[in-house]
Every structure is written in C-alpha cells, then in structure tokens.
C-alpha cells in the first residue's frame, strides 16, 4: 500500500462526487424553479382577479341601497326642511341596512346637516368638499378617507328627485354618505369573504414577495384619486411536482453507485491508516504513532496530535494536582466562612437571648443592642461580598460607564470615609490632590471606582492602629491613565504573602486579620473591578512599616465643557411632619419595622400589599407625598409599578427599598426612574435622611 497517494485520491473522490451531485441538483433546481414560477404567476393572476370580483360584489349592496335612497322625493324635501323627525324615523334606522358605522347628510351648499354614527366613529364632520365635487361629476361613488379614528370606506351619492334616477337631469339637492371604519371587524368580515389574510399597508410601504404566499394589493384612494393606503390580501401557495420524484430516483441511483465506489477505494486507501489510529487510541502504541507520523497528509497530522496528546497527559496530571490544591483552598475558605458567619450570629443570638430572658439596666440593654446591630452589619457585609464575588466569577458584572466629575467624586469619598473613623482611634486620613487637575469630566464606572477606593481606604484604616492613611491621585495625560495611591502606617504584610493578597480563596492569617475578622474578599473584588475598568493594581508592603496599594485606570475625557470643582455640602437634616407616605411592602414583618421606626414622627402611613395596589393608590390619592416601593412584590413588582405611576404623577418622589445591593442592581434601579433607594436591612438614619430629602 502506497500511503503517499492516499490523500490526493480521496480528494479526487470527494471533488468528483460533489461535482456530479451538484450537476444533478442544478438540473433539478432549474426545472422545479421554472415550473414553480409559472404556477405561482398563474396563481397570483387568478387570486387578483378573484379579489377584485369579490370586492365588487361586497360593495354592490351598499351602492344599490344608497342609490335608491338618494332618488327619493322625501329625501329632497328633508334637505330643504331639515326635518329631524323624518330623518330619525327613516334614515336614522338604516345603519344595519348599510352595514355602516356612520351616515351623514349635506345640503346643496356642501354644508353638514345631520349624521347617524355608531360609537366607533366620534368625528362629527369629516367629508371634504372635494369629495362632494367628485360626486357632482359621477353621481354615486366609493372612496376612502383617513380620519382620527382610522381609515374609513365612504360610499356617497348626490340626492335627486325620483324622476332623475341617473342623477344627470336635475340640480343636486344634497349629498348622502355611508361610511364604514376599517377596523378589526371590517377586516375579519373581508377575510371571511375572500378566504385570505388581510393587512393594511401604508401608501409607500414595500410589499415583499414570499415563495409560498400569493398576494394581491388593492389600493385605497380618496376622492382626488390620491393613494392613502392599501389592502394586502395573502393566501398560502402550495404546489407539488410529480416530475421531481423521477429526478430524485435518478439521483439516488447515481448516489448508490458512487457510494459503492467510494467504499471500495476507502477500504483500499484509508483502512491501514485508520488501523494505526485505532492501535494508537487503544494502547498508545508508540510504533503505530511513529508510522502515522511518517504518512502523508492528514494522517501524518493525526500522528503528531497523538504525540502531543501524550505530552498533554503529563500537563493534565500537573493540573489535577493544582486543582486538588484549589479544592483544599476552597475547603479552608469555607471553614473560614463558617467561622465568620457563626461569630456574628453567636453574638446576635446570645445577646438577644440575654435581652429577652434577663433583667437588665437601661445601659446594659443599649450596650447589648449595639452589639447586635454591629454584628448584624458585619453579617450583611459578609453576604454582600459573597454575592458580589459570585457575580464576578459567573461574568455577570459589566462596566456601566458614565460621565463624572473626578475631583468632586474623590472629595466626597474622602469626607465620607473620614467621618467613619472612630474618634477614639488615633488615625488620621490625608487627601493629596493631583498636581494636574482634570481638564474635563471623565468617563468611567462611578459606582465601581467608588467601591474600590472605599475598600482600600477601609482596609488601610482597619489595619492601622495609629498613624496616618494617605490617599492621593495623579492625572497622567501622557500615558492616558489616572494613578491612585492608598498608603498606611499599619501592620504591613509579609513579603511571602504578597502574591496571594488578591487571591479569592487565600487570606493572610495573622493576629491582626483574626482580630478584625471578615472573609478577606474586599481586595479580590477590588482587583476584579479595576480589571473590568481596564486598569491594574499592585502592592508594596513591609511588616511593621505599612502598606501601599497602587492602581491605575484609563483616562477618558468627556470633552464637553471645562469643569469647576464644586465643594461638597454636608446634607442638612430637616424634620418634616404630616407627610402622607405610601409603603408598598408585601412582607408583614418589614412593614411592621417601618411602622415602628416612624411611629414618633407624625407621618400618615398607607400600606400597599403589592405593586398593583400601589399603582391604584397613587392614581386615586393625590395626597400621597412619598412612596417607599419594594422591588420584589407579588402581582406586580416595583419596576412594573413605577412604569405605570410615572406618566400620571411624574413629580411624586418614589424611593426603592430592596434587598438587592450590588452595583448593577443600583444602576438598574436608578435607570428605572426611582428618585433614590434604600437597601435592606434598613438603616434608620438613612431612612429619615431620604424622607427629609424629598
């Protein structure tokens, strides 16, 4: 067997068989296409003729009826006398006879006299004078008009005495019109008559040809012959061709013959290489692999793949060892997680039991409640970090870029973090601004940038017992970057742990980390956020000296106008009394908590158990001053509720209250139109701050 000739011969077989198949298929396609086009064209012509005939027959009764009525002497007298009683006794009752939605009478001067409408048409007078001039020429006719209620089919005739049946001997006494609104009922009736599906098209809308549908277009023209729309009639088109089977039989016969030839040559030209492949797969036979490598074409490539596969097995063994190490790290992380969750829960449960079952002084009770509150906050922080890391791992986090004033943002963060430092802790925080101020606003994800800075500053303060925490930033226009630096004089990190500081399942274990607690996910989350923003983070640290974190993000200016750094004013707390507050909350315990928090404020509180009830109350009660809207509710959620409230009461302050606390959730809430939000567990100070704000 000569292996070097295998590849060209197989290629020849594939190409030649493909060419033969394509030739037969082309002949078949040409024949079917030609025949089908002829059948389709005939079907279209027949369908158009049938539609025209059916529409003519459908209009015949109303044309006959209106012709009879307008050659009536009493009708001529009515136009002159405008006798309403006669009209109500005769013409007013003919709506059903005409099958119309509107009857209207005009005098010889083309002035409106009287109408008989159905509820679907509310327009009083819509027939133009041009239409009456059109009837002056032809006596009776049909045309279409566009009115506020939609397109109407109007059948009209001039009014003459009975001795002028052809409306050409006497002067026109007036005009009588019967109109039908082209609505669902009209279309449905027309579909039943024509056994087709009907669509209403615009005057310039293009009708695309469909292979299995025959269509006919009927123009809708006004009295001036101007096109205002079209009816598109469609019906399924299915044609079967007996001759196709004969061609398919011929193709099958040829294919079978070709298949026999292909099997014969495949046995001869491919069997040996495949046998070698099987040996290599079953036993990893090195001699078979070497022989495969010596062949030509694809089988030689397969031999190389087998050799690479053996090398990859060694790599997989190493990867398995690394994965097992990762499992151990996860197990350690879960053990630490269990400890960190149980620690605050132990304090919460323990001190709660003491408050319930022990006689305490007021000072002790307040002390225990403070312990419960602080541990509850720690527990929420742990849960938030876990959820955020889970979203990062599952690629559910994406940047939400917006335009921000960098310097105002940083000054605000600095003041926010500064007030969180306990007065008893001898630590100062210092802000060093960029020597080159930002010339314009910048484009970045404000929420993620703030979260990174807060995480790093909070860590620096947490691990610094006394001394200084420095926060600085620098605009680097040459490199197109913004450099941030957070430096502290804390306990520092041993150099051996530097490479693991940002790892997700590793935590530097020492006396200080055990004392401050937490899962150590803050730096991992910060690193992920910085990478999402397109930046990088690094660390310098020495035990006993302190740590310095450096990170950079891209500098992208929003070049609209020069910015002026505005001072951040502290929020003023203003007490507001006698507000009517709607609380949309389905959970009874959460609503009770709201009531207890606000019971001494003198607010009038109204409750909605679901989103639909909240919408109804806001629409029907104009005294509502503020809405606290839960996001997750039955019947209708908070997002759906605000969509219905905003168009009706655009100035009503609506605050979202939610258990979703990630940055993406906050962005979604603000985009939905909420004025602000408060997260659960509820913070009493934050609640009253928002109530006073709005």
**Residue 78 pLDDT greater than 80, yes or no:** yes
Average pLDDT over residues 430-453: 86
The first and second tokens of residue 519, run together, are 């899962």
Q: How far is CA 511 from CA 344, 371, 515, 517, 606, in A?
A: 18, 22, 6, 10, 51
Task: Specify the pLDDT at position 571.
Answer: 35
Q: 281 or 655, which is more confident?
A: 655
SS3 at position 20: helix
Average pLDDT over residues 190-216: 83
Task: Specify the pLDDT at position 48.
Answer: 81
Domains of the chain, first to last: 11-236 (3.30.450.20), 331-394 (1.10.287.130), 402-554 (3.30.565.10), 580-693 (3.40.50.2300)
Q: What pLDDT, in 10s, does the model give residues 544-582?
A: 888 899 999 998 888 654 444 443 333 333 334 578 999
Q: How far is CA 300 from CA 8, 64, 273, 297, 309, in A?
A: 14, 88, 9, 6, 14
The first and second tokens of residue 79, run together, are 């136009």
Average pLDDT over residues 193-217: 83
In degrees and rounded to multiples of 5, residue 517 shows phi and psi of 75, -170
Torsion sign over Cα 34, 39, 44, 49: positive
**Residue 158 pLDDT greater than 90, yes or no:** yes
CA atoms within 13 A on the CB side of 590: 21
Task: Specify the pLDDT at position 573.
Answer: 34
What's this model's pTM, rounded to 2 decimal places? 0.41
Residue showing tokens 């603000």: 670
Bridge partner list, 475 = 482
The answer to whether 291 touches 278, Cβ cutoff 8 Å, is no
Task: Specify the pLDDT at position 559.
Answer: 67
**Residue 308 pLDDT greater than 90, yes or no:** no
Q: 518 or 344, which is more confident?
A: 344
Which strands make up the sheet holding 150-159, listed edge to edge?
Answer: 112-117, 102-107, 174-181, 150-159, 140-147
Name the CA dihedral angle for 268, 269, 275, 280, rounded to a multiple of 10 degrees: 170
Average pLDDT over residues 79-108: 88
**Residue 179 pLDDT greater than 90, yes or no:** yes
Q: What pLDDT, in 10s, does the model give residues 99-120?
A: 889 999 999 999 999 998 989 9
SS3 at position 568: coil
**Residue 76 pLDDT greater than 70, yes or no:** yes
- pLDDT exceeding 90 applies to what percent of the chain? 17
> For the chain, what is the largest distance between any 2 Cα atoms, rounded to a whole number of angstroms?
119
In 3D space, the residue among 453, 613, 616, 627 whose CA is nearest the CA of residue 526 turns out to be: 453
Task: Specify the pLDDT at position 106.
Answer: 94
**DSSP-H helix ranges across 358-425:** 362-393, 406-418
Q: What pLDDT, in 10s, does the model give residues 234-252?
A: 888 766 555 666 676 777 7
**Residue 653 pLDDT greater than 90, yes or no:** yes
Per-residue pLDDT band for 506 (boundaries 50, 70, 90) equals low
The first and second tokens of residue 586, run together, are 């389905």
Distance separating alpha carbons of residues 437 and 477, to the nearest angstrom? 11
Q: What pLDDT, in 10s, does the model give residues 416-431?
A: 788 778 878 888 888 9
The answer to whether 652 touches 645, Cβ cutoff 8 Å, is yes
Task: Specify the pLDDT at position 13.
Answer: 66
The first and second tokens of residue 98, run together, are 């005409």
The first and second tokens of residue 503, run together, are 């790892």
Task: Specify the pLDDT at position 140.
Answer: 92
Per-residue pLDDT band for 4 (boundaries 50, 70, 90) equals very low
Average pLDDT over residues 342-369: 77
| DSSP secondary structure, 424-443, as one string | TS-EEEEEE--SS--SSEEE
Residue 622 is classified by DSSP as: T
Distance separating alpha carbons of residues 287 and 304, to the nearest angstrom? 13
The first and second tokens of residue 174, run together, are 């007036």
In degrees and rounded to multiples of 5, residue 363 shows phi and psi of -65, -45
Per-residue pLDDT band for 389 (boundaries 50, 70, 90) equals low
Distance separating alpha carbons of residues 299 and 274, to the nearest angstrom? 8
Task: Specify the pLDDT at position 438.
Answer: 81
**Residue 667 pLDDT greater than 50, yes or no:** yes
- Of these ranges, 261-275, 306-320, 341-355, 577-591, the one predicted with the greatest mean pLDDT is 577-591
- pLDDT exceeding 70 applies to what percent of the chain? 79
Average pLDDT over residues 331-351: 65
Distance separating alpha carbons of residues 690 and 678, to the nearest angstrom? 8
Q: What pLDDT, in 10s, does the model give residues 19-67?
A: 777 777 677 777 777 777 777 788 788 888 888 888 888 888 888 889 8
**Residue 605 pLDDT greater than 80, yes or no:** yes
Distance separating alpha carbons of residues 244 and 69, to the nearest angstrom? 60
CA angle 502–503–505, rounded 5-degree value: 140
| Mean pLDDT value across the chain | 80
Distance separating alpha carbons of residues 23 and 372, to the nearest angstrom? 83
Task: Specify the pLDDT at position 297.
Answer: 67
């Amino acid at each position: 067997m000569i292996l070097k000739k295998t590849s060209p011969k197989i290629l020849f077989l594939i190409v030649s068989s493909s060419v033969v198949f394509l030739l037969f298929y082309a002949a078949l396609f040409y024949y079917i296409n030609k025949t089908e086009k002829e059948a389709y064209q005939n079907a279209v012509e027949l369908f158009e003729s049938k539609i025209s005939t059916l529409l003519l027959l459908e209009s015949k009764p109303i044309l006959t009826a209106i012709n009879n009525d307008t050659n009536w002497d009493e009708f001529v007298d009515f136009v002159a006398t405008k006798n309403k009683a006669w009209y109500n006794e005769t013409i007013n009752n003919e709506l059903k006879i005409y099958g119309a939605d509107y009857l209207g009478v005009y005098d010889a001067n083309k002035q409106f006299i009287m109408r008989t409408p159905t509820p679907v048409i509310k327009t009083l007078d819509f027939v133009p004078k041009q239409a009456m001039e059109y009837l002056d020429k032809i006596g009776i006719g049909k045309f279409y008009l566009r009115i506020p209620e939609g397109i109407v089919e109007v059948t009209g005739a001039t009014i003459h005495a009975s001795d002028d049946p052809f409306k050409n001997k006497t002067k026109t006494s007036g005009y009588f019109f019967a109109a039908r609104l082209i609505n669902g009922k009209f279309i449905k009736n027309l579909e039943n008559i024509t056994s087709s599906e009907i669509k209403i098209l615009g005057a310039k809308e293009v009708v695309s040809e469909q292979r299995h549908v025959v269509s006919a277009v009927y123009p809708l023209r006004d009295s001036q012959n101007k096109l205002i729309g079209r009816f598109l009639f469609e019906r399924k088109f299915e044609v079967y061709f007996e001759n196709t089977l004969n061609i398919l039989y011929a193709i099958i016969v040829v294919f079978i013959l070709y298949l026999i030839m292909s099997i014969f040559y495949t046995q001869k030209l491919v069997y040996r290489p495949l046998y070698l492949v099987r040996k290599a797969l079953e036993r990893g036979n090195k001699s078979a692999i070497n022989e495969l490598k010596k062949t030509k074409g694809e089988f030689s490539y397969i031999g190389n793949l087998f050799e690479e596969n053996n090398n990859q097995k060694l790599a997989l063994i190493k990867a398995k060892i690394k994965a097992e190490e990762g499992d151990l790290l996860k197990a350690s992380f879960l053990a630490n997680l269990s400890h960190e969750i149980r620690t605050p829960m132990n304090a919460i449960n323990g001190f709660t039991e003491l408050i319930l079952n022990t006689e305490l002084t007021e000072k002790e009770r307040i002390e225990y409640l403070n312990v419960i509150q602080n541990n509850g906050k720690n527990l929420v922080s742990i849960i938030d970090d876990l959820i955020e890391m889970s979203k990062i791992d599952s690629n559910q986090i994406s940047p939400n870029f917006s335009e921000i004033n960098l310097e105002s943002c940083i000054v605000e963060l600095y003041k926010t973090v500064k007030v969180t430092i306990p007065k008893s802790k001898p630590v100062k925080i210092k802000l060093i601004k960029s020597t080159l101020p930002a010339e314009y606003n910048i484009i970045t994800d404000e929420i993620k940038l703030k979260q990174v800075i807060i995480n790093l500053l909070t860590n620096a303060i947490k691990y610094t017992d006394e001394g200084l925490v420095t926060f600085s930033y620098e605009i680097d226009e040459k490199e197109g970057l913004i450099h941030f630096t957070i430096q502290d004089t804390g306990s520092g990190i041993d150099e051996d742990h530097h490479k693991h500081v940002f790892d997700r399942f590793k935590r530097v274990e020492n006396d200080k980390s055990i004392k401050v607690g937490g899962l150590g996910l803050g730096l991992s989350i910060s690193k992920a956020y910085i990478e999402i923003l397109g930046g990088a983070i690094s660390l310098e640290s020495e035990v006993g000296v302190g740590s310095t974190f450096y990170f950079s993000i891209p500098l992208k200016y929003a070049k609209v106008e020069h910015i002026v750094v505005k001072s951040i004013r502290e929020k003023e707390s203003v007490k507001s009394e006698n507000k009517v507050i709607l609380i949309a909350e389905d959970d009874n315990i959460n609503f009770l908590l709201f009531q207890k928090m606000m019971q001494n404020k003198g607010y009038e509180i109204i409750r909605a158990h679901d989103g639909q009830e909240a919408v109804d109350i806001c629409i029907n009660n104009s005294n509502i001053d503020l809405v606290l809207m839960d996001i997750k509710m039955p019947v209708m959620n908070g997002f759906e509720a605000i969509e219905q409230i905003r168009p009706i009461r655009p100035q009503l302050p609506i605050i979202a209250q939610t258990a979703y606390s990630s940055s993406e959730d906050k962005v979604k809430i603000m985009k939905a139109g909420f004025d602000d939000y408060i997260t659960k567990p509820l913070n009493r100070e934050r609640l009253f701050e928002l109530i006073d704000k709005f």
